[in-house]
Amino acid sequence: MTTLPAGWGDGTRSVRAGDAPPVPGTPLRPSPVFAAPFHLGDRPPRADGADAYARTEHPTFRAFEDAVGELDGGRCLAFSTGMAAVTAAVTALVSAGDRLVLPADGYYATRLLARDELERLGVRVEYVPTTGIGDVAARGDLDGARMVLLETPSNPHLDVCDVAAVARATRAAGALLAVDNTTATPLGQRPLALGADLTVGADTKALTGHSDLLLGHVSTTSGEVFDRLKGWRDHTGSTPGAFDAWLGHRSMSTLDLRLARQAETAAAVAEVLAGHPAVTGVRWPWLASDPSHELATRQMLRPVGVVSAELADEAAVSRFLAASRLWTAATSFGGVHSTVDRRAQWGGDAVPAGFLRFSCGIEDTDDVVADLTTALDAV
């Protein structure tokens, strides 16, 4: 992992993280290495740290991992997708008969993984709402738990959970705490610094932020956990492609700038939504009226660009989309385009038919807000 000066800001760290020492005549950011096998020569494989085979070691993966690890504050392993990262974090560290606590209102694919695969393998999965996991920890009801997986802010409701408090409880119970930090990114929240054992990211979303690749990662400060995850990845082969890893590292250079614009727009969008008669149930933790406001402003380092709200029904959503020119109907979030996703159409979340997840892009805030107002008025 690279080590950058402690006083450097988020923008500088986003650009410089993972960079090798400069060598005259070489590119500022080397091109991706596409090799699968590497020359072995007359030495034993991996002698003196030499690469041998891309599934287990690769220079382009390491540059991306160094960059993300620098921002996360731990050692990072890259995976082919965010779900591959979540699967590794759980499967490598939880065994048959173990108790695993998952958010009942988190990303639905994580719950599908637990229901269709982990329970089949004998893992005892317990589903608790994000706001309730803190209560379970406060009561000391984690006896026998092997791992607690948080997603905070939760997706899509944007509830926030006290990471430090849950970390103290999991440590007292001898359990591990993993935090899905996808929505916040390492610039918005640092779970490892708050006491988590692992932080997980679906880097397809805001971290790389251009909606053009699939990528994920897990970071940890534990050498034992890192080695177990590395072994699991080597055995299962869930590594990213070299070009995706390179493209992800390239895209991180603008992370600070993208997040700042997205948060600026989200603040304006949340205010418009909260004041419009066609809208109910607005959630953005940085609204003073939001139930997660106090904790989010205390725990997190910056606001996120995701807002949730409800229109009356599916027909109202259709009218909204027909009247909008800048809010594109698309799933996922965190990209440079402003998008809106009607979550009920996927069938995985307990939400009303008109529930929407707004992901603010990096267009001009005034344009996005004007378009939002026009489309809401059409509703």
Specify whether 230 is catalytic.
no
* CA separation, residue 349 to residues 155, 156, 184 (Å): 9, 8, 20
List the catalytic residue out of 13, 75, 98, 107.
107
Unique residue bearing structure tokens 């599934």: 55
List the catalytic residue out of 159, 180, 203, 244.
180
Give the dihedral sign, CA 283/147/104/361.
positive
The SS3 call for residue 75 is strand
Give me 20's structure tokens. 């090798």
Specify whether 180 is catalytic.
yes
| CA torsion, ordered 10, 15, 20, 26, to nearest 10 deg | -160
| Dist CA 149 CA 50 (whole Å) | 35
Reference 153, options 14, 317, 278, 333; nearest CA is: 333
User: What are the phi and psi torsion angles at 248 (to 5°)?
Assistant: -65, -45
Give the end-to-end CA distance of the chain in Å, rounded to a whole number.
51
One-character DSSP codes across 338-353: -EEEEGGGGS-S---T
List the catalytic residue out of 205, 233, 283, 357.
205
Specify whether 127 is catalytic.
no
List the catalytic residue out of 16, 29, 46, 55.
55
Specify whether 19 is catalytic.
no
- Catalytic residue list: 55, 107, 180, 205
